[in-house]
């Protein structure tokens, strides 16, 4: 061991070469080791984001370089009823789907947290909607919501509840609720499994202590489970809101934004205008307009929910 | 305050019975300690009294009422958990007041009780802190405060000191005992530490493998252990055991397996030739003329006393000497047992003779 220790040069020898000098500088080494990760981030995250925002300030079209036009795209969008409809749709879609995903996901997590036979099996099953590629499940829902061959319409008809098929994707509000239902189905596993993980961090002895303190099951949920789960709920719901707000695949497969733009979200409208429509600049402006919404969602969860005084130890 | 009666209580998880019929009578105001090695069923028994585990067989009565089917919240007991189980999102004050808040107790009454409990435990400056901001000993006190505020019929403690460091444990031991002397609430306390049991209990219940080995006042257990298990479990350092055969030729003695004659005091007859275990506590061995030759292995001075580990009759024994001695490893010393304090056990059954 003594030999090894001797080999490590604690102080660079006096006549060291430049390379050796630089290589033993901790700041330079730090920079060097950071480079690969930084390069990846810059190339695949920052550059596309920057390019997208930049495009929003130009009149670029497919096949034609644009020039900087300032806020002209955004001014145009302000008077665009379809854009405002998509904003409304996106908010409705995000709010309703997130609330449903939270409620059902928490309920499922509480159920899965109970002692029951084949626990691991059920937990695995619950993950399936999350594991299946979105496009695949969207196609399945497309079939379920089909105007003629819908299994839902068929079942309800057989039960004698309805006379004619439901026009799931052809009617404005039907289409909105249908895509929300599909999104909820897909999003529940993420919420449920994450909250289940959170539930399992709550020590059993707290529930026992609360039982001896005289709580009812509802009070245990209200006073123990919910407050202790809040930090996890904040993180999970932030992600859930972000995923929902930026959803694209499900809508694009099911309705392409129709009927009459009733299910167009900001993401699908942005794509619609930019690629099939050819107005890259305008599409980018719509996408850029999503950023303030997303940032405010993140800030709300970070400042409003995530930080709890009781989580901080040590100082007052 | 209330008496607790445990009558032939059994507990089985599936096919495996882990408590095989235990009966204990606990008087009003008594401090009873269940002690035993890990897995002996002591914690399970406590949790059955609390109502956190179902009772497979037998009866548990609190204040002369059978509570087998009574839900925990109606048993009027308070429990201090090993990991304290403080609600991390409530302040110390809220933790202590929680049970009263649930019962919708009047605010003034609630505050009065929390204040009193905080005063008793020296927690007044910490009422607005969260459990995270407290040291282990303070958390321990909060857990007790939560129990005191309840003013229950019975206190249950489940190894409350095992997460504390050695010094704090000694201090809290005294505090709990003082608390009991002050409140006089019936207390059932589980520990694996026989020192805690010896120092705090009115009555010790030694459990092993789901049965009671012996039950009684601490010093009775120490002076007259019923069997080898209790003899070895109670007392630190543990009692020395030497196997041999009783011999009553002229004067009573035990002939060890290695051929050393171990002296006995007065012994009833009918023992001759019986295989026995000769037990002598470390403090009942002294260095004296006419003692048995023993080879010193290790000497551990603690200041107030000296522990000498030595080989006697082929077996390692330990002697605790009050006086300081100048001996070292390899020395041969004469160890003399106090024959009036020798314990004899049947080698087969382990029962006291």
Q: Are A273 and A284 in contact (CB under 8 A)?
A: no
Q: Which of B87, B145, B156 would best serve as a mutation to test chain A binding (most A beta carbons within 10 A)?
A: B87
Domains present along chain A, CATH in parentheses:
80-307 (1.10.3720.10)
What is the mean pLDDT of each successive set of 10 residues along chain B, which is 353 residues long?
88 90 91 91 91 90 89 89 90 90 88 89 89 88 89 90 86 89 91 91 92 93 92 91 81 78 73 85 90 90 91 88 88 89 89 87
Q: Quick: pLDDT tens for A67-77.
A: 888 888 888 88
Q: Do A208 and B99 touch (CB under 8 A)?
A: no
Q: Do B72 and A219 touch (CB under 8 A)?
A: no
Q: Which are the contacts of B12, defined by CB distance < 8 A and separation ≥ 6?
A: B18, B56
Predicted confidence at residue A15, as pLDDT, reads: 60
Chain A touched by B98 (CB under 8 Å): yes
Predicted confidence at residue A115, as pLDDT, reads: 81
Question: What single-letter DSSP state applies at residue B104?
Answer: T
> How close A265 gets to chain B, by Cα (Å)?
39
Instruction: Measure the CA–CA gap between B278 and B285, rounded to whole angstroms.
Output: 13
Residue with tokens 């630089």: A22
Instruction: Measure the CA–CA gap between A126 and A112, rounded to whole angstroms.
Output: 9
Question: What single-letter DSSP state applies at residue B276?
Answer: E
Q: Which of A208, A211, A316 sits opposite B133 (nearest CB)?
A: A316
Start-to-end CA span in chain A (Å): 47
Q: Are B21 and B9 in contact (CB under 8 A)?
A: yes
pLDDT (mean) for A109-120: 85
pLDDT (mean) for A21-45: 89
pLDDT at A25 > cutoff 80: yes
The ipTM estimated for the assembled molecules is 0.82
Q: pLDDT band at residue A255, thresholds of 50, 70 and 90?
A: confident
Q: Structure tokens of A22?
A: 């630089």
Q: Structure tokens of B156?
A: 């249950």
Instruction: Measure the CA–CA gap between A46 and A32, rounded to whole angstroms.
Output: 20
Instruction: Measure the CA–CA gap between B85 and B140, rounded to whole angstroms.
Output: 10
Q: Show which of residues 26-65 on chain B sit within 8 Å of chain A, judged by CB atoms.
A: 50-52
Domains present along chain B, CATH in parentheses:
4-233 (3.40.50.300), 240-346 (2.40.50.140)
Neighbours of A40 (CB within 10 A): 10
Instruction: Measure the CA–CA gap between B299 and B328, rounded to whole angstroms.
Output: 7
Predicted confidence at residue A158, as pLDDT, reads: 84
Residue with tokens 């079942």: A155
Predicted confidence at residue B136, as pLDDT, reads: 85
Q: Do B129 and A219 touch (CB under 8 A)?
A: no
Q: Quick: pLDDT tens for B120-137.
A: 888 899 999 999 888 888
Q: Quick: pLDDT tens for B9-49.
A: 999 988 899 999 899 999 999 999 999 998 888 999 999 99
């Amino acid at each position: 061991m003594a030999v090894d220790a001797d080999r490590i040069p604690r102080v660079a020898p006096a006549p060291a070469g430049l390379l050796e000098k630089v290589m033993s500088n901790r700041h330079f080494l730090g920079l060097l080791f950071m480079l690969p990760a930084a390069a990846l981030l810059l190339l695949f995250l920052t550059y596309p984001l920057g390019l997208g925002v930049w495009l929003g300030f130009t009149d670029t079209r497919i096949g034609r370089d644009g020039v900087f036009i300032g806020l002209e795209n955004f001014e145009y969008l302000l008077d665009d009823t379809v854009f405002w409809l998509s904003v409304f749709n996106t908010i409705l879609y995000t709010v309703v789907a997130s609330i449903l995903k939270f409620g059902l996901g928490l309920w499922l997590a509480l159920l899965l947290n109970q002692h029951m036979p084949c626990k691991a099996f059920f937990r695995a099953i619950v993950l399936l909607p999350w594991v299946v590629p979105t496009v695949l499940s969207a196609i399945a829902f497309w079939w379920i919501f089909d105007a003629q061959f819908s299994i839902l319409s068929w079942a309800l008809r057989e039960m004698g509840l309805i006379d004619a098929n439901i026009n799931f994707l052809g009617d404005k509000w039907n289409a909105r609720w249908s895509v929300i239902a599909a999104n909820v189905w897909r999003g529940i596993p993420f919420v449920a499994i994450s909250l289940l993980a959170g539930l399992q961090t709550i020590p059993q002895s707290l529930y026992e202590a609360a039982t001896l303190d005289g709580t009812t099951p509802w009070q245990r949920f209200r006073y123990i489970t919910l407050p202790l789960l809040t930090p996890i709920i904040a993180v999970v719901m932030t992600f859930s809101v972000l995923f929902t707000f930026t959803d694209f695949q499900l809508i694009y497969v099911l309705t392409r934004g129709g009927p009459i733009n009733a299910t167009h979200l900001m993401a699908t409208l942005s794509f619609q205008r930019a690629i099939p429509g050819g107005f890259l600049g305008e599409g980018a402006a719509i996408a850029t307009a999503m950023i303030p919404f997303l940032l405010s969602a993140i800030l709300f969860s970070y400042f409003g929910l995530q930080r709890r005084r009781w989580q901080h130890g040590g100082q007052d | 305050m209330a008496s607790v009666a445990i009558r032939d209580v059994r507990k089985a998880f599936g096919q495996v019975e882990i408590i095989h019929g235990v009966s204990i009578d606990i008087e009003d105001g008594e401090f009873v300690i269940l002690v035993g090695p890990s897995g002996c069923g002591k914690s399970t028994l406590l949790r059955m009294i609390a109502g956190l585990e179902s009772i497979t067989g037998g009866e548990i009565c609190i204040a002369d009422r059978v509570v087998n089917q009574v839900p925990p919240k109606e048993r009027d007991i308070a429990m201090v958990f090993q990991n304290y189980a403080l609600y991390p999102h409530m302040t110390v004050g809220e933790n202590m007041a929680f049970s009263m808040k649930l019962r919708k107790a009047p605010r003034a009454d609630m505050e009065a009780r929390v204040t009193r409990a905080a005063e008793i435990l020296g927690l007044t400056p910490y009422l607005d802190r969260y459990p995270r901001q407290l040291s282990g000993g303070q958390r321990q006190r909060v857990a007790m405060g939560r129990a005191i505020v309840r003013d229950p019929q019975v206190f249950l403690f489940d190894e409350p000191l095992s997460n504390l460091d050695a010094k704090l444990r000694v201090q809290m031991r005294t505090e709990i005992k003082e608390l009991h002397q002050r409140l006089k609430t019936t207390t059932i306390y589980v520990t694996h530490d026989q020192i805690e049991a010896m120092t705090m209990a009115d009555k010790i219940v030694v459990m092993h493998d789901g049965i009671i080995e012996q039950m009684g006042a601490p010093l009775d257990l120490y002076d007259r252990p019923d069997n080898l298990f209790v003899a070895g479990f109670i007392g630190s350092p543990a009692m020395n055991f030497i196997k041999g055969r009783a011999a009553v030729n002229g004067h009573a003695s035990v002939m060890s397996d290695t051929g050393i004659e171990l002296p006995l005091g007065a012994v009833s007859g009918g023992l001759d030739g019986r295989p026995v275990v000769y037990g002598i506590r470390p403090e009942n061995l002294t260095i004296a003329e006419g003692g048995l030759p023993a080879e010193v292995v290790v000497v551990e001075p603690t200041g107030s006393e000296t522990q000498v580990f030595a080989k006697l009759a082929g077996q390692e024994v330990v002697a605790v000497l009050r006086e300081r001695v100048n001996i070292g490893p390899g020395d041969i010393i004469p160890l003399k047992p106090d024959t009036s304090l020798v314990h004899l056990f049947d080698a087969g059954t382990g029962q006291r003779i």
